[in-house]
Amino acid sequence: MLSKIKKLVLKAILLTSVLAVLLLMQYSCANTTAPPMGGIKDTIPPVLLKVLPDSGAVGFPVKEGKIELRFNEYVVLKEPQKNLYLSPPLDKRVETKIRGKSIIASFPSQLDSSVTYTLNFGNSIVDNNEGNQFNAYVFPFSTGKYLDSMMISGTVYNAATLMPANDATVAVYKNQEDSAVINTLPSAMAKTDKFGYFVIRNIPQHDYRVFAFKDNNGNNKYDPENEEIAFSDSVVRANIVLVKGMPEIVPVSEKDTLTALGRPSQIKLYMFKEDSDKQYIREAKRLQSRMFYLKFSAPGAQLLSLDFNKSKEIKYIKEFNIRRDSLVVWLTDTLQPIPDTLKLTVNYMKTDSLLNLTAAEDEFSLVAPKPKREEPNQPERRIPGQKRKRTDLLEFTMEADPVLFEQKGFVLEFPAPLKSINSDSLLFRVITPRGDTSAAPYNLVKDSINSRYYTVIPRNKILQGHEYTLLAKRSAFTDIYKHTNDSLFKSVKLPQDEKLSKLSLDIKGVKGFYIVELTNITRDKVFRSYFVNSDVTLEFPYLQKGKYSVKITEDINGNGITDTGNLLNKRQPEKVRLYTLPDGSAVITIPESTELVQTIDITAIFKN
């Protein structure tokens, strides 16, 4: 009896052990790729163990050559079509594949003999699990007996904002023709980083033409119709020897702004969008029953005539923008019905097949926009006592910004040109901090370019802490369609905050026309703009504490806009420069409750 009990106990122990082992195996199999729960997150980038052949290899085969990068862990390529490129490029892109912990690169096109190449991986290599990024990697090799060792470095900026041009293609050409960037592949190339910086490396000592362009279609050529361009005015000699450890080629973190901006820059390029050299009507669209616009492909459009439904009897008002590449037309005859489909014939100067401007005729069918659909069987919802909106109502906007009030006052925008203004129905008043109210003199100014914009500007000096009001009584304005406005009121109170600051710019050395703008440091917001043609002191009041930049445009023709450049005519865009402090910074830090004065020598800023 006792032996039987021992046998049962032994069986139970054995069964328990087997179940424990099975459970352990099941758990292990189910978690072969999962990290231990609660473990430390992997933040270490991959480690490159070996490169086959070695970096800097010579005698690389022109056919069926391969490059292998072996890492200590599994890696992937992130956006290789964007980040990975060969310099000089081939007509077909480099092919890559992942094999185990290796990256294999091969070349579907035959390489040229006796040429130094660089295979640039950029920031494409990351580990498989956490996406930790391997440093930007460049593999140089040569199909000849030696490796070229010269380099060209530089920075590319947006010509209008001076912000760095990221992910631009910078290409150099031994061919000195301007059209080389359009018709041929580069002699060598590189891509700009977040800071607009580039290094074209491992090139022979030579004189090059240097271009930068946004390669939107990835063909390594400049497309004037759809891409931006920058170019050097003269050839650049590649005479700096590439040496290991140079600050130009040492990897820099995108977060290390100070080091990135301190890298040596041999040349600076300013990128712009060219105007098309072909004139034609790009778009024709009807926005309202009696209003449409034409968009031309290039500025300076020359309009000869407009015909509507083969009739010259329809009256209209036309208005070009400042560049004359956009035209808005209002049909003014309210007695004659306008069909749903308007047959428009435009006679203008159009570019022909020989690139000459000749008189041409284009026809368009402009369909009136459909009215908003109303839900069927839904009763009209109106607030009790609310009047139905009249059909002849002129609705317009009236805006005022305290920061810009001294310069712009109240800004009025109308949907169509005005026929008449009853100035007696405009009441402009000022209210003191005590509450005293009085009428104030003002000027009503029509915009010289856009006839639908008006400004109401006080004649007297504006005062801090005062409130300004504008009342447009009913029927103060009548537009060309005989629509009149309802009463509209707007007020703006100028701040009386002791924490606000003021910046004064003492502008000297002015010889010509310039546009001076106070902007934020990313140059996408303008706080105030001045047009100057002589030495003057400019004031920027009511500023919050913060960081600002002063952008100055050399307006050569005095038209008030920044004109673009032209590659084949060797014309750079109008220069835009930033005012810099003695330490070289373009950022002006304005503290609270401060009146800051800066002297700007225009001649010194534009000497380069």
Q: How far apart are the C-alpha atoms of 418 and 433, rounded to whole Å?
A: 36
Q: Give yes or no for a contact between 572 and 230, defined as CB atoms under 8 angstroms apart.
A: no
pLDDT (mean) for 322-349: 91
User: Which residues face 153 on adjacent strands?
Assistant: 199
DSSP state string for 508-545: E---S-EEEEEE-TTSS-EEEEEEESS-EEEEEEEEPS
Structure tokens, 361: 């005729």
pLDDT exceeds cutoff 50 at 26: no
Sign of torsion, CA 270 275 276 282?
positive
Which residue, among 271, 88, 273, has the nearest Cα to 196 in the 3D structure? 271
CATH classification (class only), 501-605 = mainly beta
pLDDT (mean) for 156-170: 96
pLDDT exceeds cutoff 60 at 18: no
| C-alpha dist (Å) from residue 40 to 27, 35, 82, 176 | 21, 9, 32, 56
Rg, C-alpha atoms of the chain: 34
pLDDT exceeds cutoff 70 at 380: no
- Which amino acid is present at 24? L
pLDDT exceeds cutoff 80 at 497: no
Q: Give yes or no for a contact between 419 and 432, defined as CB atoms under 8 angstroms apart.
A: no
Could you tell me how many residues make up the chain?
A: 608
pLDDT exceeds cutoff 90 at 370: no
Half-sphere exposure of 298 (CA within 13 A, CB side): 19
Q: Give yes or no for a contact between 167 and 82, defined as CB atoms under 8 angstroms apart.
A: yes
- pLDDT, mean over the chain: 89
Which of 161-170, 370-379, 438-447, 502-511 is the least confident region?
370-379
pLDDT of res. 346: 96
pLDDT category at 1 given cuts 50, 70, 90 is very low
pLDDT exceeds cutoff 60 at 10: no
CATH classification (class only), 281-367 = mainly beta
pLDDT of res. 25: 46
Which residue, among 547, 431, 440, has the nearest Cα to 496 in the 3D structure? 431
pLDDT of res. 87: 97
pLDDT of res. 372: 66
pLDDT category at 312 given cuts 50, 70, 90 is low
Q: How far apart are the C-alpha atoms of 2 and 20, rounded to whole Å?
A: 27
pLDDT (mean) for 387-405: 89
pLDDT category at 16 given cuts 50, 70, 90 is low
pLDDT (mean) for 196-204: 97
The better pLDDT of the pair 447, 12 is held by 447
Q: How far apart are the C-alpha atoms of 167 and 267, rounded to whole Å?
A: 17
Which residue, among 254, 174, 160, has the nearest Cα to 519 in the 3D structure? 160
pLDDT exceeds cutoff 90 at 14: no
In three state form, how does the secondary structure of 102-166 look? EEEEECCCCCCCCCEEEEEEECCEEECCCCCECCCEEEEEECCCCCCCEEEEEEEEECCCCCECC
pLDDT exceeds cutoff 90 at 386: no
Which numeric CATH code is attached to 397-493? 2.60.40.3710
pLDDT of res. 28: 41
Q: Give yes or no for a contact between 251 and 138, defined as CB atoms under 8 angstroms apart.
A: no
Residue owning tokens 């917001």: 525
- pTM recorded for the entire structure: 0.83
Chain centre to alpha carbon of residue 477: 38
Eight-state DSSP code of residue 448:
S
pLDDT category at 462 given cuts 50, 70, 90 is confident
pLDDT exceeds cutoff 70 at 35: no
Same fold: 281-367 with 501-605: yes
Q: How many helices (H) and strands (E) does the chain have?
A: 6, 43
In terms of phi and psi (left: phi > 0; alpha: psi -120 to 50; beta: otherwise), the region of 482 is left
pLDDT exceeds cutoff 60 at 6: no
CA angle (240 as vertex; 237, 243 as ends), nearest 5? 155
pLDDT exceeds cutoff 50 at 81: yes
Q: Give yes or no for a contact between 151 and 239, defined as CB atoms under 8 angstroms apart.
A: no
Exposure string over 202-237, b if 16+ CB within 10 A, otherwise e: bbeebebbbbbbbbeeeebbbebeebbbbbbeeebe
* Structural domain spans, the chain: 56-270, 281-367, 397-493, 501-605
Pairing type for strands 188-191 and 229-231 reads: unpaired
pLDDT category at 385 given cuts 50, 70, 90 is low
Which of 43-52, 270-279, 349-358, 370-379 is the least confident region?
370-379
Please state the φ and ψ torsions of residue 484, each to the nearest 5 degrees: -125, 155
Structure tokens, 534: 């002589």
pLDDT category at 383 given cuts 50, 70, 90 is low
User: Which residues face 303 on adjacent strands?
Assistant: 348
pLDDT of res. 22: 46
pLDDT (mean) for 193-212: 97
| C-alpha dist (Å) from residue 95 to 19, 77, 98, 120, 558 | 51, 12, 11, 13, 52
Residue partners of 399: CB distance under 8 A and separation at least 6: 410, 411, 413, 490
Residue 64: count of CB within 10 angstroms of its CB: 9
Digit-coded pLDDT (tens) for 566-595:
999 999 999 999 999 998 899 999 999 999
Percent of the chain residues past pLDDT 90, beyond the cut = 75
Q: Give yes or no for a contact between 208 and 235, defined as CB atoms under 8 angstroms apart.
A: yes
